[in-house]
Chains A and B, each alone.
Chain A
């Protein structure tokens, strides 16, 4: 079945540091890949997405490239801010040809940015 594995946290960085959160997946077919962010006490917000191999999703300084050869979708940001502190979820669509299958999520990575 489909699964998502992402690095465990918490990940603690200083402000302006470079961020990488690793995400690898196992899937049949050609899933779409997503990063969602969850701030304390809030719902999940879509951060970025990629729908096919070699696509790069980007938003708010974050980037991730859909690498089919390594089945990865690592999240990166060049200079993090305190306001980036949140839980980040890597996810893939289980959609494979039809149906409202929903998303499969990784376990989440808690990111803490210190001033």
Chain B
């Protein structure tokens, strides 16, 4: 079965650079979520989209932005990167906002040097 696809899997950037992460949800899933997981930490909700519109916002820094496109894929843009942005970024998708069941991708590991 098709899963959530994230790219790139690994990314190394310098401080103050910009990074873009991409997420391709499971076909026919209309909701996409972004989470940030620091080393040894629980995933922290960043932002979500439902039917290409931003639905909810969590602890996403102002330096980050995201959008969902007409084909339902989503991109997370991170600018002015800081060392503390080094983390695993997960995308998840869902077919129903009613059940809360999310399917996660394998994550994109961002390292900021």
Binding site for B on A (CB under 8 A): 31-32, 34, 36, 42-46, 49, 51, 89, 92-95, 98-108
Q: How many positions in chain B have a CB within 8 Å of any CB in the partner chain?
A: 28
Chain A hits for B97, CB < 8 A: 95, 98-101
B55 lies within 8 A of A100 (CB):
yes
Q: What residues of chain B lie closer than 8 Å to A46, measured between beta carbons?
A: 101-103
A42 to B90, CA, bound (A): 10
Query: With the chains together, A31 CA to B101 CA distance in Å?
Result: 11
1/0 per residue, CB under 8 A from A, across B35-53: the answer is 1000001110100111000
Q: Mark B83-113, 1 if CB is under 8 A from A, else 0.
A: 0000000101010011111111111000000
Are the CB atoms of A101 and B105 closer together than 8 Å? Answer: no
- Among A32, A42, A43, A89, point to the contact of B100 (Cβ < 8 A): A32
